[in-house]
Amino acid sequence: MRRWPVLLFALLAGCGPKAHPPASPIILWAWERPEDLRFLPEDVGVAVQSDFIEIVGDSFIARGRRYPLRVATPPEIALVHIQIAPEQPVRWTPTLRRRVAGAVLHYATRIPAKRVQIDFEVRASERQILLDVLADVREGLPRGTLLSMTALASWCDDERWLDAAPVDEIVPMLFRMGRTDPLIRERLEKGGDFRNPRCRTALALSTDTPIARAPAGRRVYVFDPRSWTRADFDTVRRQIGGWR
């Protein structure tokens, strides 16, 4: 099997998306830290954080990944994390909107991934910013590249604005859910589901927040608060196997 050495995304500039097989049933998030995932079996995919963007007032800060990623095969997904600096109100102008979307596309499309994922947690007053970014990124993606987004579990339960999100996949996160955590987790563990049908194709969990049961037949994304190890992966795979 061909092995990919340290994956430096600058070396992949100019590589467009290629034909890809269907998405893996389990995908590990490779967050911004050193990661060596060469131990993964072939049926497990990787979503790599390729970009970090922070919106500050009427401007933003953007940078690519700073740490190496070692994988046996190229990542399936390029993830862009976006956040809004809490100390300054956002001045969401057409110019800022265009520049943020351009930064997302610049970093995410340098990787020959079949899917781009936006991780952008927003307040109620900022939801239109998220929808604007998704719409502009969707329009600018290479033909055939899918668009995914993460979502707070509460967004999938009692809020309908997600229906306007121009994405192929919504990934509700079953960890760090805040005040809605106990109610949603209890419903899922009893065999229930999210109220919004668009949130029923994938889900996300964390190695430090196990869940006894979740809906079967979904693509599962997994976050580890530390660099991945084979032991952490084996533990979470057994957990997922218990309720699939």
Look at residue 70 and tell me if it is in a domain. yes
What is the identity of the amino acid at 99? R
State the pLDDT confidence band at 178, using cuts at 50, 70 and 90.
low
Q: Does residue 241 contact residue 222 with C-beta atoms inside 8 Å?
A: no
What percentage of the chain carries pLDDT values higher than 70? 88
β-bridge partners, 238: none
SS3 (DSSP) at 104: helix
Look at residue 1 and tell me if it is in a domain. no
Q: Does residue 15 contact residue 74 with C-beta atoms inside 8 Å?
A: no
Domain that holds residue 103: 6-12+22-243
Look at residue 43 and tell me if it is in a domain. yes
Look at residue 167 and tell me if it is in a domain. yes
SS3 (DSSP) at 145: coil
Cα 169–123–109 angle (5° rounding)? 40
What is the identity of the amino acid at 14? G
Give the tens place of pLDDT for each residue, 198-209: 999 999 999 998
Q: What is the pLDDT of residue 210?
A: 83
Look at residue 96 and tell me if it is in a domain. yes
Q: What is the pLDDT of residue 6?
A: 41
Looking up residue 48, the CATH number of its domain turns out to be: 3.20.20
Q: What is the pLDDT of residue 14?
A: 36
State the pLDDT confidence band at 20, using cuts at 50, 70 and 90.
very low
Q: 7 versus 231: which is more confidently predicted?
A: 231
Q: Which residues have C-beta within 8 Å of that of residue 182, sequence separation ≥ 6?
A: none
Return the structure tokens found at 132: 């604007």
Return the structure tokens found at 169: 């996949």
Helix 94-108 × helix 127-140 angle, to 10°:
50
Q: What is the pLDDT of residue 94?
A: 97
Domains in the chain: how many in total? Answer: 1
Of 7, 37, 219, 29, nearest in space to 117 by CA: 29
Q: 181 versus 170: which is more confidently predicted?
A: 170
